[in-house]
Amino acid sequence: MARKRVTQIFPFLIPIRVWQRNLFYYIGMYFDKNKYSKTVSDLLPYEVCNSKTLMINENSGHDIIYQKNKVDNLKIISRTMNQVLIQPGETFSFCYLSRKSKKYGKLKDGLILVDNKIVPTKGGGICHLSNLLYYTFLKTPLTIVERHGHKVKSFPNPDKDSLEGVDATIRGGWLDLRMKNNTENTYQIVIDFDDDFMYAKILSDHKVSEKAEIVNDDFKYIRKNGKIYESVSVIRVMTDQKKKKEVSREKLYDEVVEITYELPKGTKVEEIKDDEEN
């Protein structure tokens, strides 16, 4: 049986622990010799890619108020990074920018996973934005520096046709989403909303000759040690925009995540023995 953390035994210490982690995290960033993106600018002229996601997940199994609170949180956090430039040599950090969210509003209780339980927590749901940005970043020449996929999936995606394995969980002081610009071009993040969707675009100061699309391959559900997992490969397909011809296809990684919600009746689940590879 795993030993309990001190904050599990004494929950009142959690705010102090969070403050401590954030303090040392940002001190570390100050001395790590990276230049972090923070410059806000007018819109750059050329669109590299765009994405969108449905914000309200009616299949969460929890009070819809937390989904509505999440939308408010997303709009607040997005203001910390909307129209931010990622200039050559700079690193985008979700946590570095979002730490300034207080000046744009008060975060509300949204849903997060804590100790394998879904609970309402202040600021919950902002991973919906980091998920969208990560997926959008995958369609650019930016280099992944840090990304953490969710280990557990507690309810279905809000978008029935959305890709799997392109999420990025965030936890200030612990887990970040970072992308570095190792190119000679400048890129810019643009985030927008309507009543139902959140949108992300990446703009550039130069035209791009190739377009990237992210697709899934070898998607399946597997059962191992009594638990059900979702397994999928994430593929990047590059297309020449002038010739409309595929120029490359690269597998970026394989992703496996535990499923804790009930799958639709009749869903095929592959049985995996303990000594088999996923």
Q: What is the pLDDT of residues 103-117, one digit of tens each?
A: 999 999 888 777 667
DSSP 8-state symbol, 174: T
Per-residue pLDDT, 121: 83
Using CA of residue 78, residue 83, residue 88, residue 90, what is the dihedral sign?
Answer: negative
Beta bridge partners of 238: 212, 248
At residue 154's C-alpha, the angle toward residues 150 and 160, to 5°, is 90
Per-residue pLDDT, 133: 98
What is the four-CA torsion angle of 221, 226, 227, 229, rounded to 10 degrees?
A: -20
- Tell me which of 87-91, 127-131, 269-273, 274-278 is least confident: 274-278
Number of alpha helices (DSSP H) and beta strands (DSSP E) in the chain: 5, 15
When computed from its CA atoms, the radius of gyration of the chain, rounded to whole angstroms, is 20
Confidence at 49, pLDDT banded by 50, 70, 90: very high
Q: What is the mean pLDDT of residues 49-66?
A: 86
Confidence at 77, pLDDT banded by 50, 70, 90: very high
Instruction: Kindly report the average pLDDT of the chain as a whole number.
Output: 88
What percent of the chain is predicted at pLDDT more than 90? 64
- Residue 49 contacts residue 202 (beta carbons within 8 Å): yes
Q: Look at residue 13 and tell me whether its pLDDT is greater than 70.
A: no
- Residue 213 contacts residue 53 (beta carbons within 8 Å): no
- Residue 113 contacts residue 155 (beta carbons within 8 Å): no
